Amino acid sequence: MAMLGYGTWKLADRDTCIDAITTALETGYRHIDTARMYDNETYVGEAIANAGVDRDEVFLATKIWPDDLAYDDAIDAAYDSLDRLNTDHLDLLYVHWPARAYDPAETLDAFDRLVEEGVTDRIGVSNFTPELLADACDRTTAPIFANQFECHPLLPRQGWRDACAEHDVQPVAYAPIARQEVFEVETIAEIADAHDVSPAQVSLAWLRQHDVTAIPKAASVDHIRDNWASLSCTLTEAELDAIDAIETRSRKVNPEFAPWN
């Protein structure tokens, strides 16, 4: 899984979604992240199929919504996603949230079966607290490959990242630029000016240098390319420390059913 992926949240319009993913793949992205509830899996599959990039070069991840996490429902939902994405396998399949129909034994047994049946190469979880992650890792036969959660300089989630390291799970950050709020942080703006890059690139570089994969969503060509350029941005240890020391905290995703509520 590439350390910088392309997120597709809110890309529910067909033309916008296909154009954006096409641009992302042409730019160099090879990790595409979607979800059943984004209502765009068909468009994602269409874009990948028509992009002129070999499917084996693309790391494709999707997620099953909490309403579909009972054993039989999870199996059916995964096969439905496979059909919509027009692919013969997923590279990674996530439990989207540990909520509603999520039952650790039943849901994770279904995910193990999906690996055995070749539907997905890897299984992941999303929005799992350190405690829930430890429990999931103890239950599955297939290893938990990734835990995807909100993470950025204003919500660094050190404890969550530590838990991922303890269990050999890759942390994946959604909302990695805090929905553009990092642009308003003086420390990040000063570092961006010093490198002649955008604050978004600084935030993405900070994540990468902390071994966190990021999946920023962007619709415009300029933003897609700007995020990609973050791979050429390397922060100094002093700059990393300065960002780590930011005291402002801001959570962007906080549904009532979240496990921390």
Q: Residue 126: left if φ>0, alpha if ψ -120 to 50, beta else—which one?
A: beta
Contact at 8 Å (CB) between 172 and 148? Answer: yes
The pTM for the full model equals: 0.97
**Catalytic residue positions, numbered:** 38
Q: How far apart are CA 237 and CA 216, in angstroms?
A: 24
Q: What angle do CA 183, 187, 188 make, to 5 degrees?
A: 40
Q: pLDDT of the chain along its 261 residues, tens only? A: 999 999 999 999 999 999 999 999 999 999 999 999 999 999 999 999 999 899 999 999 999 999 999 999 999 999 999 999 999 999 999 999 999 999 999 999 999 999 999 999 999 999 999 999 999 999 999 999 999 999 999 999 999 999 999 999 999 999 999 999 999 999 999 999 999 999 999 999 999 999 999 999 999 999 999 999 999 999 999 999 999 999 999 999 999 999 999
